[in-house]
Amino acid sequence: MDKFPGTPDTVAAVPAQQSFARFMGALRHITRFMTGPLLENPLDAAVQRIETNPAFAQYRLLTRLIAALPGEQGEFRVEEAAVFDSDTLAVIVSLIHAHDAGTTPPAQWQQAIDRAESAQLAFNG
């Protein structure tokens, strides 16, 4: 029960954009010391992982991240950033760089989103 009736639940009141920004901040914090070359095509690498193992929690979350990046909004919990293993985090670092650089055409993002979501739907039936 709320201490003060009529006041919004702070967790429910967090806008999706703020949720996304906090999640991205957590990902950037986790990956801040990762070194190594960036992937040439991180979208394809991410989608291949999702298509191979659509049932894995980290790949369901990766699907949501791919869908959220172009519009920079989505609903995430900061704690979800801990789901990713180091190999997937390396892909995410490349995805973030590709997004921030703006070098990936919107159509390519949409194709990746469609493929990832299709893999998830095929698994879930």
**Each residue's pLDDT expressed in tens, for the chain with a length of 125 residues:** 444 444 445 455 455 567 999 999 999 999 999 988 999 999 999 999 999 999 999 999 999 999 999 999 999 999 999 999 999 999 999 999 999 999 899 999 999 999 999 999 998 86
Q: Is 67 among the domain residues?
A: yes
Q: Is 71 among the domain residues?
A: yes
Q: For residue 36, what pLDDT is reported? A: 87
Q: Check the CA dihedral 102-88-42-16 and report its sign.
A: negative
Q: Cα-atom radius of gyration of the chain, to the nearest Å?
A: 16
Q: What's the pTM value of the predicted model, to 2 decimals?
A: 0.84
Q: Is 4 among the domain residues?
A: no
24, 94, 122 from 105: Cα distances, Å: 21, 15, 26
Q: For residue 3, what pLDDT is reported? A: 46
Of 12, 7, 40, 41, the closest CA to residue 109 belongs to 41
Q: Is 11 among the domain residues?
A: no
CA–CA gap between residue 33 and residue 55 (Å, rounded): 29
Q: For residue 54, what pLDDT is reported? A: 94
Q: Is 21 among the domain residues?
A: no
Domain count, the chain: 1
76, 88, 116 from 49: Cα distances, Å: 20, 9, 9
Q: Is 53 among the domain residues?
A: yes
Q: Which domain holds residue 76?
A: 27-124
Query: What tokens appear for 45 in the block?
Result: 């690498």
